Amino acid sequence: MAQMDSATGGVFSRGATRFAPSPTGELHLGNARTALFNYLLARHAGERFVLRIEDTDAGRTRPEYIEGLLADLRWLGLEWDAGPGREDAHGPYFQSQRAAHYAGLFARLENLGAVYPCFCTALQLEASRRAQRASGRPPRYAGTCRDLTAQERERHRAQGLAATLRFRVPSGQRIEFTDLVHGPQSFLSDDIGDFVIRRADGSAAFFFCNAVDDASMGVSQVLRGEDHLANTPRQLLVLAALGLPVPRYGHVSLILGPDGAPLSKRHGAASVREFRERGYRPEALVNYLFRLGHSSPEHALLGLPELARAFDTSHLGRSSAHYDEQQLRVWQKSAVHQLTPEQARGWLAALLPEGIAAASADAFVAAVAPNVVLPEDAAPWVRIVFGGPPVLEPPDEQVVREAGPGFFAAAARAAVAGASDPAAITDAVRTASGRKGAQLYMPLRLALTGCRHGPELGPLLKALPAGEAERRLARFA
């Protein structure tokens, strides 16, 4: 159904979801999941996905956080239909650029008598809260400036006191809505104090701009953190006063660390940038986040279109989700297994020494990628393959010596003749020594790599620089 934007007169042919981050820090897993869920909900329902930057807190907003946020969302594949860089008639999509739009709505609320200027200082407000707490009442605005006369307001202004603008919460109302995750909700307006919608510096406050922007941008569904559930009745009051459309809200449970505390830096990597820099794949993160607080019968690594098809708000859990890096690593493993040779090369490129032959680099990636979860796991193999013949530990040297010089002479000869063809080497050694199975492979593996375990020997042999296999084998001939 077309939705009317009564503030700007715009008409929306389709509904929308949105992600509305405050750029006061790096994008962390919790927000990345909120972005993903809104993206999937939009794609599932054929709606638009809007990105709005809530940068009204000039003191805490930093341009590098905005840049980082956009880069992280793009890296995850969560392209937005409207937002920064994709402006349309319903923008701008930075709240810091929407002052003119807000001014009209503030004026409307003033004309309706739904708001009033408040001259209370931070100190006065704090004293009032303390007094309420002391007498066992929940702290809320005491209404000090609610009924000031025009003369009193003038007097305050003349004294140079800056005013905030407060929303006049109607008394005796029940505010009800059905949350997409938590079901029916009911709040009493008498429990809500009059709240600030414009700060003393003139900037729009969260309850106001978050709500009216959703209306102006045609947002029909909102998934956001559970910490905003208690804000919703205030936002509904603002929208009702202005006669603006109300989105359906769903409040998603928080992500907790293994110790039960909200996920944060001290649980290890928490920002998307850190995961990216450690070599996590976007597909792995997206698949992991999809299952964090959203149950699904789908157990395979899925692409975004498939995830969108499977996304269902009725599968969002009410209890907190627990972050578990081991689970993320499982998805990472699947993601690495599905890399194309070209993607795998790009993924490990930074580790490879300069100047190695392209064929050797390709063979290395093919040999090692299936065995590692993160690029850091491949670093020891770079040293083993490209760092010259490995030094053996005494027990390993013993295994090699026991195989005998004839074993390695045959192996080295086959390495020269067969240009490091693994089958040629093992055939030659089998014939020369009569050994088979581990008796055959372990001395070879140790002489070539210095390790008892690791990627398959055949592909590794192909990665060794020219002449290197022979050199390593001939040491023991």
> What is the contact surface with ligand GLU in residues (CB under 6 A)?
20-22, 54, 210, 224, 228
Least Å distance, CB 227 to ligand GLU, is: 7
* Residue with smaller CB distance to ligand GLU, 210 or 253: 210
Backbone angles phi, psi at 208, to 5 degrees: -80, -60
Q: Which of 223, 173, 162 is nearest to 196 (CA)?
A: 162
Task: Round to whole Å and give the CA distance between 188 and 177.
Answer: 12
Q: Tokens at residue 465, please?
A: 């620089």
Cβ-based burial of 285 (10 A; exposed 0-12, middle 13-18, buried ≥19): buried
Q: Tokens at residue 124, please?
A: 């006065």
Least Å distance, CB 233 to ligand GLU, is: 14
Least Å distance, CB 24 to ligand GLU, is: 8
SS3 content of the chain, % helix, strand, coil (to 5): 50, 15, 35
Peptide bond between residue 139 and the one before it cis (omega within 30 degrees of 0)? no
Task: Round to whole Å and give the CA distance between 147 and 412.
Answer: 96
Least Å distance, CB 228 to ligand GLU, is: 5
* Residue with smaller CB distance to ligand GLU, 47 or 283: 47
Least Å distance, CB 41 to ligand GLU, is: 13
Least Å distance, CB 37 to ligand GLU, is: 11
Least Å distance, CB 224 to ligand GLU, is: 3
Least Å distance, CB 266 to ligand GLU, is: 21
DSSP state of 393: P
Residues 167 and 145: beta-carbon distance below 8 Å:
no
* Residue with smaller CB distance to ligand GLU, 220 or 332: 220
Q: Tokens at residue 318, please?
A: 């009410």
Q: Which of 159, 175, 310, 152 is nearest to 240 (CA)?
A: 175
* Residue with smaller CB distance to ligand GLU, 224 or 413: 224
DSSP state of 357: -
* Residue with smaller CB distance to ligand GLU, 210 or 271: 210
Residues 360-379 as b/e (b if ≥16 CB within 10 A, e otherwise) read bbbbbbbbbbebbbbbeebe
Q: Which of 45, 51, 41 is nearest to 72 (CA)?
A: 51
Residues 261 and 305: beta-carbon distance below 8 Å:
no
Residues 178 and 69: beta-carbon distance below 8 Å:
no
* Residue with smaller CB distance to ligand GLU, 20 or 292: 20
* Cβ neighbours around 70 below 10 Å, total: 18
* Residue with smaller CB distance to ligand GLU, 21 or 443: 21
Residues 49 and 78: beta-carbon distance below 8 Å:
yes
Q: Which residue is nearest to ligand GLU (CB)?
A: 224
DSSP state of 476: T
* Residue with smaller CB distance to ligand GLU, 54 or 194: 54
Whether the CA torsion 147, 153, 159, 163 is positive or negative: it is positive
* Residue with smaller CB distance to ligand GLU, 20 or 286: 20
Least Å distance, CB 114 to ligand GLU, is: 21
Q: Tokens at residue 50, please?
A: 């809007």
* Residue with smaller CB distance to ligand GLU, 21 or 279: 21
Least Å distance, CB 230 to ligand GLU, is: 12
